[in-house]
Amino acid sequence: MAKDDPDSPGLVSGLVKDTSRSSLYLLSLCACLFLGGLYLRKAANKPLPPGPCPLPIIGNIHQLLSKPLPDALSEWHQKYGPLVRFQSGNRLMISIASDDVCQDLMVRKGPLYNSRPDIVVAEEVESLQVMIDFLSSDDFSASFRRYGASVTNALGYGRRLTHDDEAEFHEAEQLAYRLVDVIVADFHFALVEIFPILDYILGFLAPWKAFGKKYYTEATSFYSRNLLKAQSTSSWNWVKHSLTRPQAKNMSTDGLSMLFGTALQAAVETIPSILRVFVKAMLLHPESLAKAQAEIDQVVGSDRLPSFSDKPSLPYINGIVNECCRWQAVLALGFPHSTTDDDEYCGYRIPKGTMLFANAWAIGFDEGIYQNARDFLPERWLENPELPNSAAFGYGPRVCPGKFIGMDSLFINIARMLWGYEFAHGERKVTLWDIDHAFTSSPRDFDAKLSIRSVKHRETLEHAQSVTETDVDGILAKIGEDFRA
């Protein structure tokens, strides 16, 4: 029989096999679609995390404006648990008040939730300047701000900010304060969150657009000048180092300027605020001050300043550093994370685009982790060295840029202030929970008198100033070698 005969058994058999195979594929596809539909329906039916009932259009804005945000969220966490869902306009947000949950979502599931070196020599030089400033002034807040600006400027752009750079320092401060003040106080920004369509209104009808344009122009100009200075310096700096990375090739000059500028600005804001918490704690807890000074006198003495090599021998002072970060968390809500896809956690649905906050303020007061959490107790870190302290600077890739300088900066400044100075109340007394909640949660202004502990301490400090190497190029070259190693 001919092979091309339509009645050929081989051909008929082949057609039957092809039809059966196609049917099998079709059935498999239908089964997959059916099961997928069941899964999606099941996922869609899962509840969102618990939280207060939102009003139409405005969400929970009315409740968030009635008191400081960390306080409002803390009350909700007490009622609803470690995951609290709320709405700002039509934007879904989740506050997390559990270190374990933050570790699960922002570290272990980092890519889904994160659409977003050894520098001790530089820090020692800048902390020495803080100590010298205190010899002639009680304005500790200004000294802390100058420290934050100078050490980040040196590491970021390759040059220190000294007292001769007053205009540049003032310009950086004003940029930061103006943005914070307007975002916190101006209801127009809240309106854009509630009614996103307002963002498309013509500029002359939208005051936030005029402000945004003016601020962006001024900030870009300032940060661009710093970027050019960083590229022109002979010394190593973080900007020059980062510009060699492949990711930088796809960004505009303005984009790079703003990226570096805002990242370094975060460090400038964070560290001085924590140092203010430290001064506040020492005024309110003289018993902790006495214990710390007894420890540092025994380990260091008065013939030299504390250095980073002393850190392992100063456990109580390390406890003070950790306790200052926890007790009155400066980054109360951390840096927001946003989900890049739908997710499920512990039976709760977390839709794509949800904004999540690691609520460091609430985590720090978790009695399940920190007993007597509202008390300032450096001893807790000696009794349990495994206590978590991630909340202070955030979690995962969205960790606060200030951590780049971070805990070492806090240690060297706190250790040296405890070594060299006594703390006393000034004219404006400090109040325990009197706090400004803005970009950072910082103690409201108060006064303190810092006096050198002895003639010997003064002599040691002045001698250290005369012999300390302040060649920024040499210091940064060493840091650059550490980065490349």
Phi and psi at residue 336, in whole multiples of 5°?
A: -65, 145
Nearest alpha-carbon partner for 227 in 152, 156, 151: 156
Binding site annotation covers 400? yes
CB neighbours (10 Å) of residue 396?
21
Gyration radius of the chain's alpha carbons: 28
Phi and psi at residue 436, in whole multiples of 5°?
A: -90, 120
Place of tokens 């190029």: 473
Residue 87 contacts residue 54 (beta carbons within 8 Å): yes
Task: Transcribe 422-480 into DSSP letters.
Answer: EEEE-SS---TT-EEESSSEEEPP--EEEEES-HHHHHHHHHHHHHS---HHHHHHHHH
Phi and psi at residue 247, in whole multiples of 5°?
A: -60, -30
Residue 19 token pair:
């039809």
Residue 256 contacts residue 157 (beta carbons within 8 Å): no
The CA distance from 297 to 317, in Å, is 12
Cα atoms in the 13 Å half-sphere on the side-chain side of 1? 8
Per the annotation, where are the binding residues? 400
Per the annotation, where are the binding residues for heme? 400
